[in-house]
Amino acid sequence: MSEPAALAVEPAALAVEELVAGYGGVLALRSVSISARPATITAVLGANGAGKTTLLRAISGVVRPRAGRVLVGGQDVTGHRPEDVARGGVAHVPEGQGVIAELTVAENLRLGALWRRGRTTRAEALAEAYQRFPALAGARRRAAATLSGGERQMLVIARALMARPRVLLLDEPSLGLAPKIVSQVMELTAQLRATGLTVLLVEQNARSALSIADQGIVLNLGKVVAAADAAALAADVGLRKHYLGF
């Protein structure tokens, strides 16, 4: 719903309005709306098949929405091609990581920032990445295929950050990772918020996600069944049992 007063003040970092999207004859999202302010983490929760991944794909342009709008910093990017949405400041880290296994760690990282002008900004971004992720610095010449699951997750997040995005879409970063690594990833995500990044975090592990999130929405069969502060969601025992599994 439109709130003209709020829009006049500052556009949401990321806004999704009544998005409808699907695959072939099946709709995975039926009129989903979200709004996220800058420097916040929004957890997107729900069971398998609820539409969470489709939501991220519809935002980043991998899937073309059938109705509704996607606004990044007030700009309409609905249905734009993924490469253009990426250049508009949205970084999407897909589920299953997506390291390019045949390239080295350094090449994967460099790839993240190639479209930015200026070799110095790119070099700076690379240095920053190595500083924040020392494990990657040590592995920089190795083929990405040789990394462990946890290292790969770090790599794709670092790679996504190379472009200095405004919005980060994380799809199931904890999938297949040991609990210790999962908490590292969550901690990292919380740190990123502090740098001004707006994060949309899709997670099956609702408990971890809500522990760092500011707000959350719960999807079921493509519809939003709950949207509230993270604390409120975590406190709602009925909701947790029914949709979130804890």
Partner 1 sequence: MTLLRHLAAAAVLALLIVILSIKLSAFRDYQIAEIGCYVAAVAGLTMLVGLSGQISLGHGAFMAIGAYATGLMLLHLHWPLEVVLAASALAAALSGAVVGVAAARLRGPYLAGATLMLAVALPTLAIRYAGLFGGDQGLSVTINTPGFLGPTFPLTRWQAWLTCGCALITLVVLANLARSRVGRSWRATGDDEVAAALAGLNVARLRVLAFVVSAACAGLAGALLAVTTSIISPGAFTLTLSIALLTGAVLGGLGTLAGAVWGSLVLVLVPTYVTDVAASHGLSSSAGSNIPVAAYGVVLVVVMLVFPDGIQGAVRRFRQLASRVLTLRGTPRGRAPASEHQEEGST
Partner 2 sequence: MAELGELTLGGISVGMIYAAIGLSLVLIWRATRILNYAQGGMAMLTTYIALTVVSRTGSYWAGFAVALMAGLVLGGVIERTVIRPAENKPPLNAIIVTIGLLIFLEGLAGIIYGGQFRSFPAAFSITGLHIGSAALGISANDVFVAGAVLAAAALLAAGFRYTSAGLRLRAAAFSPPVARLLGVRVGRMLTLGWALAGLIGALAGVLVSPSTFLYPNSMDSVFVLGFTAAVIGGLDSPGGAVAGGLILGVALNYVGGYLGSDLVPLFGLAALAVVLMIRPSGLFSPAPARQV
Q: Which residues would be at the binding site for partner 2 (CB under 8 A)? A: 60, 62, 81-83, 86-87, 91-92, 94, 98, 100-103, 107, 110-112, 114-115, 159, 163
Looking at 4, 25, 118, 238, which residue binds partner 1 (CB under 8 A)? 25
Return the closest-CA partner of residue 25 out of 61, 66, 80.
Answer: 66
* Residue 115 binding partner 1, by CB under 8 A: no
CB of 177 to partner 1, least distance (A): 16
- One DSSP character per residue, 114-134 reads TTSS-HHHHHHHHHHHHHH-H
* Residue whose CB is less far from partner 1, 21 or 36: 21
CB of 223 to partner 1, least distance (A): 12
CB of 25 to partner 1, least distance (A): 5
Task: Return the one option of partner 1, partner 2, none that residue 100 interacts with (CB less than 5 to 8 A, by type).
Answer: partner 2
Stretch near partner 1 under the rule CB under 8 A, chosen from 27-35, 74-82, 126-134, 136-144: 27-35
Q: What is the DSSP letter of 76?
A: E
Q: What is the DSSP letter of 50?
A: S
Tokens representing residue 225 in the block: 């069944």
Looking at 143, 204, 228, 236, which residue binds partner 1 (CB under 8 A)? 204
Q: What is the DSSP letter of 146?
A: G
**Residues 6 or more apart from 107 whose CB is under 8 A from it?**
100
Task: Return the one option of partner 2, partner 1, none that residue 103 interacts with (CB less than 5 to 8 A, by type).
Answer: partner 2
Residue 39 CB-density burial (10 A; 0-12 exposed, 13-18 middle, 19+ buried): middle
* Residue whose CB is less far from partner 1, 50 or 201: 50
* Residue 22 binding partner 1, by CB under 8 A: yes
Query: Tokens 């091609």 — which residue?
Result: 81
Binders of partner 1 among residues 208 to 237 (CB under 8 A) are 221-222
- Report the C-alpha gap between 215 and 232 in whole angstroms: 9
* Residue 176 binding partner 1, by CB under 8 A: no
- Report the C-alpha gap between 173 and 204 in whole angstroms: 10
CB 76 within 8 A of CB 69: yes
- Report the C-alpha gap between 183 and 168 in whole angstroms: 18
CB of 14 to partner 2, least distance (A): 16
- Report the C-alpha gap between 159 and 143 in whole angstroms: 15
* Residue 161 binding partner 1, by CB under 8 A: no
Binders of partner 1 among residues 32 to 51 (CB under 8 A) are 48-51
